[in-house]
Structure 1
Amino acid sequence: MITQVKAPGKLYLAGEYAITLPGQASIIFAVNRYMTVIIADVDETKPVITIDSDKLGQKLIHLDQLDQQTLDDTWNLTTKTLQVMSLWLAEHQQTLTSLSIKLASDLDQDGKKIGLGSSAATVVALIKGIAHHYQLSLSRLELFKLSAITLSSLDSFKAGSMGDVAAASFESLIFYSRFDNQWLETELSKSNCQLSALIATDWPKLDIHDIAFPSNWRLVVGWTGQPADTQQLLTINAKVARIYKERLGSKTTPLIKRLEKNIQQADYISFRTNLRLNQQALVKFADFMHINYVTPKLRELLSSAYRRGIAAKISGAGNGDNGLAIVQNEATEMALKKAWQARDIIPLQLEIATPET
């Protein structure tokens, strides 16, 4: 049996930084660049999983040693996902068997990361693929929760927002409010913790729902050519950062709720105003935190849009990666892309993803 699935990348419209705190809000695009997973059954005398990644090479895991695998190498995401899925399958009276797993990504540009959330897409696609392969169903919300559990179990990812996981799981434009991560950590530490029961439970503060994007609005994305290290940015001055993130969230969460209403009502003028207010709040936060948020190229990306009356914003953690704009017609889109290209900013061929059938 062969199973093929994919999970999309993401771009933040609004909510960065504050979204790492429980209950804060964000709006996130799932975009049409993907992590693809192909799973096939194999005959082996000793049960093994062979992983072939177009980015990392090959890895062989003997299933009788899966629980003992270290999580301190470049394979930690796939290894932890397999460990979690082995437990989840056991709760459904199934066993992880010998498999060939291929991972292929188009979430980068010329071999460089472009801020689309490749780590989250890897975990989501692998969980989705294994569930499909063993003919077990997962709702989009359950897929998110299993993926979030996996990433929350890794020290290098547990502080993240999981917004990229939400976008990859729901495959659309979404409103996302972060769950209470301390509650999840407590639940996972209980000796009687069952994954199936945990993903069936309501998670405190979690809210994920689709937002319908106006049919005449167009997403335009520009890449600076400078990858940003999101995990490093998220850990700068962690104790002080929480205070400033709470202040940021008190400003941005009401704005994000207004932005959602602006999108639903296709009110472009109000949307443009509220998006710029969100951007200004992030710039002030970055100044307080001494984060190099607005690079020269990102400043040019924004000013090129603002001069043309276009709604625009830096997407993600700043310090490189992407900015985005929302336009209402093709002529405006072409003019903006031309202005970006004149400043060495690369327009990316990205659209809002549509759910995989």
Structure 2
Amino acid sequence: MRDRHRPARTRRPPHRRGRPVTARRTITRRAPGKLFVVGEYAVVEPGHPAILVAVDRHVAVTVTGSGGDDVVIDSDLRPEPARWRRRDEGLGPVDGRAPDGLTHVVSAIEVVDALLAERGLRPAPMRVSIRSGLHRAGTKLGLGSSGAVTVAAVSAVAAHRGLDLSPADRFRLALLASARRDPGGSGGDLAAAVWGGWIAYRAPDRAAVLDLARRRGVQEALRAPWPGFGLRRLPPPRGLALEVGWTGRPADTATLAGRLRTRTWREGAARHDFLARSDACVRASIRALERRDDHELLRRVRDARKILTDLDGEARLGVFTAELTALCDAAESVGGAAKPSGAGGGDCGIALLDAGAEKDIARLRDGWAAAGVVPLPVRVRPPEGNTE
């Protein structure tokens, strides 16, 4: 009979300090892509708003325990798996060459590793498999594949190690992972991938967030307030159809957005004017959605196109290609409103028009096809969870 005053011995969990016991279970997590409705470019500035929607196409990440000490990453976008080894400075490629296209996944694993270490847990060897529904024949569609794979990887790796993350935790870990690679990204794609549906989003100050994580750790960064960050759910339009057209050409979002970080642009009056106009357009679009005023929302999306057109002319970014211009014109010719979604320069655009006007929708798609724009069968992904 056990001594009542002596604590019972407990089995040490296999994932505690010391050499980890390999978990053979398989965990799969999916994250949806996104579309910007209004507010792109301005949203990269902390505290400035945008409206996004999540779409019903996903990236899936599957994590399985493996033998040895390495992390093996395979993707349907790569011809062969890549092997990584944990080192003091993070994951490093075993053969010394970092493969292209895996940086977001590697960064997601590193951030989860850091959180595990702060909680007294050791990471385990694993195989990470990526399958993307946000590409066509290996070419990205402009639906936020980088953000979706980051969120899916954070979620799958954390779940595989037994971490129970709230939606807010998943977003914050994903943003830390993304900002370590590119602090210029707004994180709007991450927010859409986590919460789904229609959202109004304001980006946090990524430099401040990264500094917080460096000084006080990842776990504290999950709890502390993030300057500039904001998120709220929005109702969908009452009677509008969302149509998506793909130009067939991928765009380099980071390069396009990076052109606005020059000293001349950042200190000029044009930047302040653009931000003020964009913010006003986003706020008016939020009011239109909340009041279920479809007519007003169409007007604001047309305003957003004009704001991007003026920005393109001022900063010479190359937002509007011939295909994106034709996409917008075709929508307006049938009474709708349209604009590039995201950075432009390729990728895709969106159109909103009367959901009951089937003939107009058919004419729109025909016009797109004639201009070399591929209509995509994409719908809005319903919201998930809460915003806590």
Residues 1:280 and 2:306 aligned together: yes
Give the aligned residue type for 1:242.
R
Distance 1:219 1:139 in 2: 30
Residues 1:328 and 2:345 aligned together: no
Report the alpha carbon displacement of residue 88 of structure 1 after superposing the two structures with TM: 0.8
- Residue 169 of structure 1 corresponds to 194
Distance 1:240 1:110 in 2: 39
Report the alpha carbon displacement of residue 327 of structure 1 after superposing the two structures with TM: 2.3
- Residue 320 of structure 2 corresponds to 294
Moved more, 307-316 or 21-30: 307-316
Residues 1:113 and 2:178 aligned together: no
Q: Deviations over 1:60-94 (max 9, x none)?
A: 22345772626964232222222111111222332
1:354/1:261 CA distance change after superposition, 3 Å: same
- Residue 207 of structure 1 corresponds to 230
Percentage identity across paired residues of the two chains: 27
Report the alpha carbon displacement of residue 144 of structure 1 after superposing the two structures with TM: 1.1
- Residue 172 of structure 2 corresponds to 145
Which residue of the other structure, out of 329, 336, 340, is the alignment partner of 1:314?
Answer: 340
- Residue 207 of structure 2 corresponds to 182
Asked whether the equivalents of residues 85 and 92 of structure 2 are also in contact (C-alpha less than 8 Å), the reply is no
- Residue 48 of structure 1 corresponds to 70
Distance 1:41 1:235 in 2: 39
Structure 1 runs (4+) deviating above 6 angstroms are: none
Residues 1:271 and 2:294 aligned together: no
Asked whether the equivalents of residues 66 and 83 of structure 1 are also in contact (C-alpha less than 8 Å), the reply is no
Asked whether the equivalents of residues 238 and 294 of structure 2 are also in contact (C-alpha less than 8 Å), the reply is no
Residues 1:86 and 2:108 aligned together: no
Distance 2:210 2:217 in 1: 13
Asked whether the equivalents of residues 39 and 129 of structure 1 are also in contact (C-alpha less than 8 Å), the reply is yes
Uncovered stretches (5+) of structure 1, i.e. residues with no partner: none
Asked whether the equivalents of residues 312 and 324 of structure 1 are also in contact (C-alpha less than 8 Å), the reply is yes
Paired residue secondary structure (1:5): strand
- Residue 379 of structure 2 corresponds to 351
Distance 2:211 2:29 in 1: 32
Asked whether the equivalents of residues 183 and 207 of structure 2 are also in contact (C-alpha less than 8 Å), the reply is no
Report the alpha carbon displacement of residue 202 of structure 1 after superposing the two structures with TM: 1.4
Within a 5 Å distance, the mapping from 1:179-258 to structure 2 comes to 179-190=204-215, 193-214=216-237, 216-236=239-259, 238=261, 239-243=263-267, 244-258=270-284
Q: Deviations over 1:259-289 (max 9, x none)?
A: 0121122211111111111211111111110
Asked whether the equivalents of residues 29 and 173 of structure 1 are also in contact (C-alpha less than 8 Å), the reply is yes
Asked whether the equivalents of residues 167 and 194 of structure 2 are also in contact (C-alpha less than 8 Å), the reply is yes
Paired residue secondary structure (2:50): strand
Which residue of the other structure, out of 53, 60, 77, is the alignment partner of 2:83?
Answer: 60
Distance 2:108 2:171 in 1: 13
1:355/1:100 CA distance change after superposition, 3 Å: farther
Distance 2:265 2:190 in 1: 23
Asked whether the equivalents of residues 92 and 98 of structure 2 are also in contact (C-alpha less than 8 Å), the reply is no
Report the alpha carbon displacement of residue 321 of structure 1 after superposing the two structures with TM: 1.5
For the aligned residues, what is the CA RMSD? 2.0
Paired residue secondary structure (1:69): strand
Aligned length: 351
Distance 2:30 2:284 in 1: 32
Report the alpha carbon displacement of residue 206 of structure 1 after superposing the two structures with TM: 0.3
Asked whether the equivalents of residues 108 and 173 of structure 2 are also in contact (C-alpha less than 8 Å), the reply is no
- Residue 22 of structure 1 corresponds to 46
